[in-house]
Structure 1
C-alpha cells in the first residue's frame, strides 16, 4: 500500500470521527426535572432550564452538566450502613441522650454555584444539617424535644441551617425542615419518661378540672351578684316611686287641711284607726255628763241585710217597734 493511500484512509477515518463527534455533541435535551449548565472550555457560561432540544458548540469546546430542578430530600438520623444500624445520638441541654430523625427539603437555585463552589455540596449540606440539629437540641430540654417543643426546635433548626448554607454559598435553598421523630435511647429510659409524662398529664388534667370548677363557681357567684343588684335596683326604684306618691298624697292632704283643718283631722284619725285596728267594732257615743249613750253600728248593719226567709219577721218587729 502506497503512502498516499495510507494518508487518504487516515484522513477519511479522522473526518468520520470528527463528523461523529460534531453530530453527537452539538445538541442536548433538557427534561422538565433538570436544568443544564453550558461550559465553554471548562468555564460556566449559561444556565438552561427550559425543557426540550437545545444546540451548542461541539465537544471539547462546550460541555453540558445537568443538575436536578425539582425539590430534593435529605434524610438525617437513623439509617442502615452496609447492613449495620447507625443511630444518630445527641445530648440535650439538660444532659439527656436522644435519637433524632430529620428530613430536609432543599432545591438547587443556582446550578453554577452548586457545581463549582464546592467539591461535594451534598456532604456539606448533610454536615450542616447535623451541626444545626445538634446545636439546637443541645440548647433544648428533653421535655421540649420529646413533647411540645418540636415545632419550635424545627423552626430554629431551619433558621440556623439556612444561615450556614448561605455562608457556604452553595446555590442551595432550604425549603422545609421536618423533625420526624425524637426518641430515647433504650426501653428502660422510655418507660421511665412515659411514667413521668403520664404523671404530668394527670396533674394537668386535675388542674384543668379545678380551674373549670372554679370558673363554674365564679360564674354562678357573678350571676347571683347580678340578680341581687338587679333586685336591689328594682326595690330602690319601687321605694322611690312609693315615696314620691306618698309625698304627693301628703301635699294634697296638706292643702285640704289648710282649707278645713277640723274635718281633715277627723278624717285622718278615722283612716288611721281603720289601718291600725281593721277588725275593731266602731261605736258613736255622746256623753252629756249624766248618762252615756251609744249607737250600735254593727247590729244595725246586720239588720240592714236580712235574708229572704225572715223579711216578714223583720217588718213585724220594725212595725212593733214603731208602735
Structure 2
C-alpha cells in the first residue's frame, strides 16, 4: 500500500508515521523523538501503565524483555560436533579447549567454535619444471594425500597449514629430483623418488608441527619438455625392448639350465655306476686269481691247460667260424658256416625252374671231386 493513500476520513491522507495531511498540505519526515515517545507510550500501555516509561510497570516490561533476550542467547549457544570432526573453542579469540563429537554449548559472543574434519582424506597437487642431477629438465607431477591429525596445531601452528604443506611438497620434490638422474625419474627410480619425497615431507611437517599426517604420495608423471619429447619416447621404447629381451633370455635360461643340470647329473650317475661296475669286476677277477693261485702252485700244467681251454671257449663262442682238425689227411679244414648259411637262404629265395637243372649238374660234377692240394699250414693243428 502507498504511504500517502487517499482515505475516506474527511479526505485526509495517511502516512506510515501516523501523521495526517490536513488541508492538502505536505509535511516533512516525523521527528525521531516523537516516534520514540509514541513507542514508549505503547509499551507502557501493554504492561498496564499509561503514565510513561519511568514508572514501575515499565521496569517490569524491561525485565521480561531481558529474560526473553537471555533465553534466546542461551538457546543460540547450542551446537553439534560431527563424528568425524573436532571442535576448537576460542574464548575472545584465544584457544580455550578441544570439544569432542556430540551436542555442546558455548556462551554466544564470548566463545567461538572452529570445526575441523580429522578423518577426511585431503589431497593436493604439486607440479613444475625441475632440474635433474644430470642437468636435464623434466616436468614432474605429484599428488599428496593427507589428513588432519591434530586440529589445534592445524589451525594455529602455521598461518595456513594447507598452503604450507603445498610449499613443503614442492621443496621436497625438487630436492629429490635434483639428486636423481633423468633415467631414474623416467623409468626404474620412480618408486625410490616417491619414497624419498614422502620421507622429506614428513620431516618438514614434523619440524613445523602442523598437525598433518601424510597418508600417501603418488608420483603421477615425469615427462620431458615438448621440444624433445619424441626423442625421449624413442629412448624409452628402446629401453623397454632391452628389458623385454633380458626377460626372454632369463626365461630361456630358466628353461634350459634345469634340463642341462638333469642331464649332467644322469651322466654323472652313469659314470659312477660304470666305475663301480669295472672296479667290482676287477676286484672279482683278482679274487678269482687269488683262489686259483694255490691250485696253480699244486698243479701248474693242469691249471694252465684249463685256463687256456676256458679262454678259447669264450673266444670261439662269439664267432661263427668253425675249425675242424682232420686227423686222417693232416689237413686243417675251414668251414665258413656263416657264409654257407647266408648263401643257402639266398638261393632258396631266388630259385627258379630254369636254375634247378644247373644245380643238379653241379651236384653230379662234384660227386667225385679231385683231391685238394695240401695247404701250407697243413702241419698246424687247431685245438678246440
Number of aligned positions between the proteins: 280
Structure 1 segments unaligned to the other structure (5+ residues): 79-87, 286-291, 299-323
Pick the structure with greater CA Rg: 2
Q: Which residue of 1 aligns with 2:284?
A: 245
**Aligned to 1:254, which of 284, 290, 293?**
293
Q: Distance in 2 between matches of 1:49 and 1:284?
A: 130
Q: Distance in 2 between matches of 1:176 and 1:263?
A: 100
CA-to-partner distance for each residue in 1:73-114, whole Å, 9 max, x for gaps? Answer: 232246xxxxxxxxx222222222222222211121211112
Please state if 1:281 is matched with 2:323: yes
1:92–1:137 contact (8 Å) kept in structure 2: yes
Q: Distance in 1 between matches of 2:136 and 2:92?
A: 54
Q: Distance in 2 between matches of 1:121 and 1:77?
A: 15
Displacement of 1:43:
3.1
Displacement of 1:163:
0.6
Please state if 1:233 is matched with 2:283: no
Q: Distance in 2 between matches of 1:260 and 1:269?
A: 14
Q: Which residue of 2 aligns with 1:269?
A: 308
Superposition TM-score, scaled by structure 2 size: 0.63
Please state if 1:182 is matched with 2:222: yes
1:35–1:69 contact (8 Å) kept in structure 2: yes
* 1:175–1:212 distance in 2 versus 1, CA, 3 Å: closer
Q: Which residue of 2 aligns with 1:302?
A: none
RMSD of aligned alpha carbons: 3.2
Q: Distance in 2 between matches of 1:211 and 1:111?
A: 54
- Helix, strand or coil: the match of 2:76? helix
Please state if 1:54 is matched with 2:104: yes
TM alignment of 1:1-323, pairs within 5 A? 1=41, 2-4=52-54, 12-25=64-77, 27-50=78-101, 52-56=102-106, 58-77=107-126, 88-186=128-226, 188-210=227-249, 222-275=261-314, 279=321, 281=323, 283=325
Q: Distance in 2 between matches of 1:96 and 1:11?
A: 79
Displacement of 1:185:
2.7
Superposition TM-score, scaled by structure 1 size: 0.74
1:75–1:101 contact (8 Å) kept in structure 2: no
Q: Distance in 2 between matches of 1:98 and 1:14?
A: 69
Structure 2 segments unaligned to the other structure (5+ residues): 1-40, 42-51, 335-384
Q: Distance in 1 between matches of 2:326 and 2:298?
A: 26
